[in-house]
Amino acid sequence: MLSSRVAPALRSLPRASVIRSARRGYADVQDGKLQLSLVLPHQSIYSSTGVIQVNIPAATGDMGILANHVASVEALRPGVIEVIEDSGSKKWFASAGFATVHNNNTLTINAVEAYPLDKFSAEAIRNGLADANRLLSSSASEKEKAEARIEVDVFEGLQAALSK
């Protein structure tokens, strides 16, 4: 529906201006870095910091983002956000959120919660997953089962992240 209303407006623009605005090159990035902002409700982990690459757990599949990436908005599933800097790589586990790649070579990640991956215990994850699965198979209320399904998704994401 929306595209049928937008398309005539695009056709009325001079063709050269449409092509010119869509064309981008590596020369657009002066230092070759992606500007990352990784933000939680209570904290900013990165604030317009130049990084080499960011790997995210997009709902559509894992995604690597470099400088000059095409603009997009991605929902995040539970998984690892990996930030690659000159000094090495840092990994956080995020439970959910959104990543927005902007045309001006910036990436903004808004996560519900994110913790350094090395702060998790494999045993605690196994126990949490077992508890959540137990609750799913019990006679708990629908609300409790819905919360347990979310916990299962998060614990399974954590297990996968730690096994890599």
| Cα–Cα distance, 105 to 35 (Å, whole number) | 6
Which tokens hold the place of 147?
């919360």
Residues 133 and 112 in one domain: no
Helix (H, G, I), strand (E, B) or coil at 29: coil
Residues 135 and 106 in one domain: no
pLDDT at position 31 is 66
pLDDT at position 98 is 96
Residues 110 and 42 in one domain: yes
CA distances to 2, 36, 47, 109, 147 from 40, in Å: 32, 13, 11, 8, 21
Q: Is residue 39 part of a domain?
A: yes
CATH number of the structural domain spanning residue 56: 2.60.15.10
| Total domains in the fold of the chain | 2
What does residue 13 show for φ and ψ, rounded to 5 degrees?
A: -75, 150
The whole-model pTM stands at: 0.71
pLDDT at position 139 is 86
Contact of 136 with 149, CB cutoff 8 Å: yes
pLDDT at position 12 is 52
Residue stretches of the chain with pLDDT short of 70 = 1-31
Q: Which residues contact 131 (CB under 8 A, 6 or more apart)?
A: 151
pLDDT at position 23 is 47
pLDDT at position 30 is 53
Q: Is residue 14 part of a domain?
A: no
**Domain span at residue 111?**
28-118
pLDDT at position 150 is 87
